């Protein structure tokens, strides 16, 4: 600890991202990256920006991207916010909307960045236990709160809350903001974006890292009532008025415009997920129903941490969490068919 730190820094428990090892011929299934590259139109758009214009600042309002996203979801540009990955968008959301007198509510098993943001911004929060089957119980959120946030599909479980249930929650919770974190929605769920026009307290956060294969560029968006978006913009412009670079802006627009490629890649991942879920079940694993680009599984007779270690020895890396309730589960990202095959072959040798 440095004596020069601000007092709050010593109290922080930072988020720990998934490991990014540099090992040759590794099957890397631990960080939910898309196994397929971005659209060729994205690469072409990036090349088009590689010139003299890089000496100029990018558009601070991301106007073209916001218009593209608005058109895609049937919204207005003032209902769209763009930032450096959904993590930055979420950070601005916590600062702008969740510093309230009542506690923020989110599931006990969810994206582990949520409590980190609460620590960073001094936000009181309360975790709401998921049911035994890891589903989210809406009635548990019918209490006074300073906001509600949850991933849908959930991370790391992959479980999906139907859109009708989200609308029920919005109808019952009108006095605070409800944030639906849709990092994985394109792999089997229905986005809450259409509800934005009817519920002024709804904010939908998405990323282009997963379904649009742009984790390396850091692009995130939020969809919500213009008053919510204005709050995010005020925080952004007080922190970094030029958050997104020219390459990311061009790539994001191209990714949304190539709908056919996007749908094709999502379907490939979905098909592989269903195949892998079946293969794991044949090996004795219990696999939660997933609407994400990963599966969450446990083997009743095998310790999860030891399984993860044994897989590493086989050149396959998956994610193991030591958190209570899920410390016997593995989160396995969906890879290419060949990567998934190598995983299954390795597991056959181990179990």
Per-residue confidence (pLDDT) for residue 8, from 0 to 100 = 85
Residues 230 and 301 in one domain: no
Residues 100 and 212 in one domain: yes
Per-residue confidence (pLDDT) for residue 127, from 0 to 100 = 98
Could you tell me if residue 8 is inside a domain? no
Q: Which residues pair with 330 in a beta bridge?
A: 297, 320
Count how many domains the chain has.
2
Domain span including residue 233: 40-257
Residues 45 and 176 in one domain: yes
Could you tell me if residue 14 is inside a domain? no
Could you tell me if residue 122 is inside a domain? yes
243: left (phi over 0), alpha (psi -120 to 50) or beta: alpha
Per-residue confidence (pLDDT) for residue 166, from 0 to 100 = 98
pLDDT averaged per 10 residues in sequence order, the chain, 351 residues: 84 80 84 97 98 96 98 98 97 98 98 96 97 96 98 98 98 97 98 98 98 98 98 96 96 98 98 98 98 98 97 96 96 98 97 91
Per-residue confidence (pLDDT) for residue 3, from 0 to 100 = 84
Residues 243 and 140 in one domain: yes
Torsion from C-alpha of 122, 116, 166, 143, nearest 10 degrees? -40
Rounded-to-integer distance, Cα 272 and Cα 335, Å: 8
CATH code at 142? 3.40.640.10
Residues 129 and 204 in one domain: yes
Q: Which residues of 202-235 are buried (b: 16+ CB within 10 A; e: fewer)?
A: bbbbbbbbbbbbbbebbbbbbbbbeebbebbbeb
Query: Beta-strand (E) ranges in the chain?
Result: 27-29, 80-83, 104-107, 125-128, 148-151, 178-181, 202-207, 220-224, 286-287, 294-298, 316-320, 330-333
Residues 164 and 249 in one domain: yes
Task: Give every CB contact of residue 303 below 8 A, 6+ residues apart in sequence.
Answer: 328
Q: Are the C-beta atoms of residues 297 and 285 closer than 8 Å to each other?
A: yes
Q: Are the C-beta atoms of residues 276 and 88 closer than 8 Å to each other?
A: no
Residues 160 and 198 in one domain: yes
In this predicted model, what pLDDT tens digit does every residue of 124-150 receive, in sequence order?
999 999 999 999 999 999 999 999 999
How far CA 252 is from CA of 16, 65, 145, 257, in Å, comes to 26, 7, 35, 9
CATH code at 279? 3.90.1150.10
Residues 184 and 97 in one domain: yes
Task: Give every CB contact of residue 268 below 8 A, 6+ residues apart in sequence.
Answer: 36
Residues 90 and 218 in one domain: yes
Residues 246 and 270 in one domain: no
Could you tell me if residue 282 is inside a domain? yes
Q: Which of 193, 223, 257 is the last residue of a domain?
A: 257
Rounded-to-integer distance, Cα 129 and Cα 140, Å: 9
Angle at 253 between CA 248 and CA 257, to 5 degrees: 145
Mean pLDDT of all residues in the chain? Answer: 96
Could you tell me if residue 12 is inside a domain? no
Per-residue confidence (pLDDT) for residue 347, from 0 to 100 = 98
3-state percent breakdown (helix, strand, coil) of the chain, nearest 5: 40, 15, 45
């Amino acid at each position: 600890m440095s004596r020069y730190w601000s007092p709050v820094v010593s109290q922080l428990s930072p988020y720990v991202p998934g490991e990014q090892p540099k090992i040759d011929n590794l099957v890397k299934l631990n960080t939910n990256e898309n196994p397929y590259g971005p659209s060729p139109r994205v690469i072409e758009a990036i090349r088009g920006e590689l010139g003299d214009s890089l000496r100029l600042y990018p558009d601070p309002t991301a106007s073209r991207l916001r218009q593209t996203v608005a058109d895609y979801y049937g919204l207005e540009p003032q209902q769209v916010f763009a930032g450096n990955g959904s993590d930055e968008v979420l950070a601005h959301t916590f600062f702008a909307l969740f510093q309230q007198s009542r506690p923020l509510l989110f599931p006990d098993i969810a994206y582990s960045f949520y409590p980190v943001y609460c620590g960073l911004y001094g936000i009181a929060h309360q975790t709401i236990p998921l049911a035994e089957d890891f589903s989210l119980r809406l009635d548990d959120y019918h209490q006074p709160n300073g906001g509600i946030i949850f991933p849908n599909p959930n991370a790391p479980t992959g479980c999906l809350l139907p859109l009708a249930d989200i609308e029920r929650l919005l109808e019952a919770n009108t006095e605070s903001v409800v944030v639906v974190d849709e990092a994985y929605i394109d792999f089997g769920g229905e986005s809450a974006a259409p509800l934005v026009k009817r519920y002024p307290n709804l904010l939908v956060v998405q990323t282009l890292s997963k379904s649009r294969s742009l984790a390396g560029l850091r692009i995130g968006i939020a969809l919500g009532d213009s008053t919510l978006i204005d709050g995010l913009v005020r925080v952004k412009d007080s922190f970094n008025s030029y958050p997104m670079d020219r390459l990311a802006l061009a790539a994001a627009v191209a990714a949304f415009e190539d709908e056919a490629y996007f749908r094709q890649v999502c379907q490939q991942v979905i098909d592989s997920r269903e195949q892998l879920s079946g293969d794991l079940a044949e090996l004795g694993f219990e696999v939660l129903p997933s609407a994400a680009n990963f599966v969450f599984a446990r083997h009743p007779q095998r310790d999860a941490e030891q399984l993860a270690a044994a897989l590493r020895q086989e050149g396959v890396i998956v994610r193991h969490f030591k958190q209570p309730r899920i410390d016997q589960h593995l989160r396995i990202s969906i890879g290419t068919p060949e990567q998934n095959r190598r995983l299954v072959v390795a597991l056959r040798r181990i179990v």
